[in-house]
A and B are shown apart, each in its own frame.
Chain A
C-alpha cells in the first residue's frame, strides 16, 4: 500500500541495496534514486521494494511509530 516503509541502507551494490528496518532486512531497488547521492546509513521511503525518496532519520522514526500503532491496534482487535 502507499503507506510505505522507511528503511535504512546497509549495503549498496549498483542499483540494489540491502536495507534494514526494525531488524528485518530486504533487497531494495535504488533505480529511481539513481540521479541522487545515496549512501550507506541513509534512510529511504520504500514502496513495493523500490526507494521512492530519501528521508531524514526523524521522519523515519515517526513513521515507524505510526506503523507500530497500527499493528498494535490490529493485534488488539483480532
Chain B
C-alpha cells in the first residue's frame, strides 16, 4: 500500500464521482500536522474537506487538574514533572495568581519538562527523599508507556497526577449526540497500533459511517481518504486499515495487558466539553499509594472549580471539529503561540498551533 505514491492516490481521488460533498474528520494531532504541512487539503477537490477533531489530550486536560498541578508545585515541597507542552497551558485564575505551570515556575516552583516517563523515574531516583509528581496528560499512546513504567517498577517517591484520556469515547459521544458534523472518520494510527483497530468498529457497526485507520505519511493519509470516499460512493462502510505496517489485529497485546493491569477506565471530564463516559484512566488499587491526589488531597473549593475554556476562546468547538481553527474569534488576533489564550494554540498537537506554525496567520473572514 505504501508503494503507491501520493500523486497516484490524488489522481485516484480526483477521478471519483462523489454523490455529495464529504467532510472527513481526523482525531490525532500527528495526522493534522501531516495533513497541514504536506498541503493535502489544498490538493483535494473542493467537495472533500478534512477537519481536525479531538486529537489533542493537552487541549482537553481539565482545568481542575491544571489548578491542582499548579497548587501542588507552589504549596508542597515537591518536584513537578510534565511533558513540555503542558507547561504553557493557561488556566482561568484571578489576576494575581500564576495561570500556568510556566508562571508557577517563574514564581519559584520546581517544575521540570520531560520528554519520556523514564526521565521522571530518573529524577525521582536522583532525589529519593523528595516527592516527584508526574502530571500525565495524554491519549493511549502516552498512557500505555506510563503504565509500562509503573509495571516495570518506580521508586516510592514518584507520584502520578493522572489526566489521561481515551480517544474513541469523544468520537462516540459526538456520533451519539446526532450533532456530528462529519461524514467519515480517519482513525488514529498509533492509538490503533497500541489498542488495535477494533476499538473503532463502532463507527461502522453502530453509525454506518465509513472509517479507515491511517498512518502519518501523505501516502497513508491519502489511502485512507480514498478508502472512505470509495466506501461513501458504494454505500458499504467498513473499517479499513491503511497503516498495516504498524497496526495489527488486536494492537500491541503486551502494552494493552500492562495498561489494563495498572489502570482502570473511568468517566472523565474534558475541558470545555464535559464528562464523557469511559473516557479516562485511574490507577488500580495496587498503585493507589502512588496517586498524587490521594497523597495530597485537594481543598474542597478547588474540586468545585469547573473545567471551562478561557473566556472568548472557541477551543471547545475546535477540539470537537465543529469549527476550523481560523474560525475562532481569537485566532491570530488575541491568540497566537507567543500569547496563547486557549490550549489549542499551546500544544504541539493543538490544531490552532499546527495551523499557525504552517504559516496560516489570518483569521477566516466571515
Interface residues of A (CB under 8 A from B): 1-4, 15, 27, 29, 31-36, 45, 47-50, 52-53, 55-56, 58-59, 62-63, 65-66, 69-70, 73-74, 77
Contact = CB atoms under 8 A, between A and B. Distances in A.
A53 B252 contact: yes
B349 A1 contact: yes
Contacts of B194: 32, 52
Contact of A2 (B115, B248, B349): B349
B116 A49 contact: yes
Contacts of B54: none
A75 to B, nearest CB: 11
A45 B349 CA distance: 18
B185 interface: no
Contacts, number: 123
Interface of B is mostly: helix
Given A4-B190, A73-B37, A52 B148 contact: no
Nearest to B347: A1
Interface of B: 2, 28-30, 33-34, 37-38, 55, 83, 115-119, 138-139, 141-142, 144-145, 148-149, 151-152, 188-191, 193-194, 215-219, 245-246, 248, 252-255, 258, 348-349, 357-359
B197 to A, nearest CB: 13
A15 to B, nearest CB: 7
Give the one of A32, A33, A35, A77 with max B CB within 10 A: A32
**Which 6 pairs, one residue from A and one from B, show the smallest C-beta to C-beta distance?**
A49-B116, A3-B30, A50-B145, A32-B255, A2-B30, A59-B245
Interface of A is mostly: mixed
Contacts of A47: 141-142, 145, 190
Contact of A50 (B148, B216, B219, B358): B148
Contact of B33 (A15, A27, A29, A70): A70
Given A33-B254, A66-B34, A77 B142 contact: no
Contact of A1 (B29, B148, B152, B359): B29
Contacts of B55: 2
Contact of B216 (A4, A49, A74): A4
Contact of A52 (B116, B152, B255): B255
A58 B1 CA distance: 12
A49 B118 contact: yes
Contacts of B215: 59, 63
B33 A1 contact: yes
Nearest to A62: B217
A49 B2 contact: no
B357 A77 contact: yes
Given A45-B193, A47-B190, A50-B148, A2 B38 contact: no
